[in-house]
Amino acid sequence: MHPSLVKSGTSAIPVHAVSAKDARAWLARQARSGLVTASGFAGAAGALAALPDARGGIAAWVLGLGDSKDAFALAAAAEKVPAGTYRLGDVPEFCGGANAALAWLMGGYGFDRYKKKTAKAARLVLPPGVDGSEISRIAENLFLARDLVNTPANDMGPAELEQAARALARRHGAKVSVVSGVALAKNYPLIAAVGMGSPRAPRLIELTWGKGRLVTLVGKGVCFDTGGLDLKPSSAMLTMKKDMGGAACVLAVAGMVMGTKLNLRLRVLIAAVENSVSGGAMRPGDVFKSRKGLTVEIGNTDAEGRLVLADALADADDQKPELMIDVATLTGAARAATGMELPPFFTDDEKLANDLVRVGTAVQDPLWRLPLWRGYEDTLTSRVADLNNNPAYSYAGAITAALFLNRFVSKTKSWAHLDIPAWIDRPKPGRPIGGEANGARAIYTLLKERYGR
């Protein structure tokens, strides 16, 4: 169990949480709350106040919830209280229990690889009925994904992403194989094409684990995206270290699945590349034959994510998995459609769609379905190849990208594509600005429902 969670604490200090509308009435019921009232505490979101005891010490803390919409609001308390042992006091159901435990761990997260932060030993007594090992497993893999995304590209290239996959595999007895060099160019030509411009060799990373029905996760691992010869403006490149967020997300899910020992055969494929600029980089107008045999004209070198995913999806599809989910930071159009906090997904499987929305809502990791609208299929045509990676249509970019990927999936029983930001742009308690594994907890919850022992 994570060291920030403990099973018991006889002298643990209560942490209460109240909404703004209930704060005055709640304080009126508390002994010695006059100082809190005098300090101006009124239940504003994130506000934290100490309730004194008879000896002038701290009897409890109270956290403001504002309008009571954040299930992980308790992270704010974990971020602010001094070292010590705490327990839940009066806390609304929506942010209590498992949500409170996960929020507490999230409140302790910090990316400290380059700038060391002072660690506070603020521990929470595990709420009744909450599985501390499960919450710890979820948090630790969520933090793994955040760390991978937050690491700058000079320290997180294709080789380093491979090392991260190998480290995760070693912890769980999984196997890792890697295809690179001549073998990659022969068998995964689109992945090789995207990586041609970088001195950091592209590769396909495969992790396998377990027995049972086959579930395949595919992650986009573009460790940095300059846009290639269709160069991004500098402002758009500032966060492009996060373009391997799909790979980080599927590794997080894999860690959760393997740690829980779900009853399935897991296969993870990560197309790890850097889309760079050089005399060897792919060019607009180039044509490459994909692993599936479809030829692709490069209409725009900055639409590289769908290229690397296409070869990985074709490989995954050949094994006819029962379920395949790919995760990618694929389009700005997805961000325009649903923002940074509600990633869209695409599938033709109605049950899978309903399940993803349901479990995402249940675990506060929301997803929103967008349509695989076949009316846009003709936008993918090319005069010289089977497909063009730059649709001849200025709208519905997330949909046309999903339709492109769908051309490489034909044998799989059930497939979904998640277009995630892998980034937090508006900080909230336990969710600082930076990398995030959007959808990881939702996918894991789905797999646990379907393949739990």
Q: How far apart are CA 331 and CA 305, in angstroms?
A: 9
Phi and psi (nearest 5°) for 245?
Answer: -60, -30
Buried b (16+ CB within 10 A) or exposed e, 317-327: beeebbbbbbb
From the list 255, 282, 311, 324, the residue with the least C-alpha distance to 198 is 282
Burial grade of 294 (CB within 10 A; 0-12, 13-18, 19 or more): middle
Which residues are designated catalytic? Answer: 232, 306
SS (H, E, C) 359-389: HHHHCCCCCEECCCCHHHHHHHCCCCCCEEC
Contact 272, 218 (CB under 8 A): no
Please state at what angle helix 158-172 crosses helix 245-260, rounded to 10 degrees: 10
Contact 208, 266 (CB under 8 A): yes
Contact 453, 95 (CB under 8 A): no
Reported for 167-174, long-range contacts at CB under 8 A and 24+ positions apart, including other chains, are 168/144, 168/207, 168/251, 168/254, 168/255, 168/258, 169/207, 169/209, 171/255, 171/258, 172/209, 172/255, 172/258, 172/259, 173/209, 174/207, 174/208, 174/209, 174/254, 174/258, 174/266
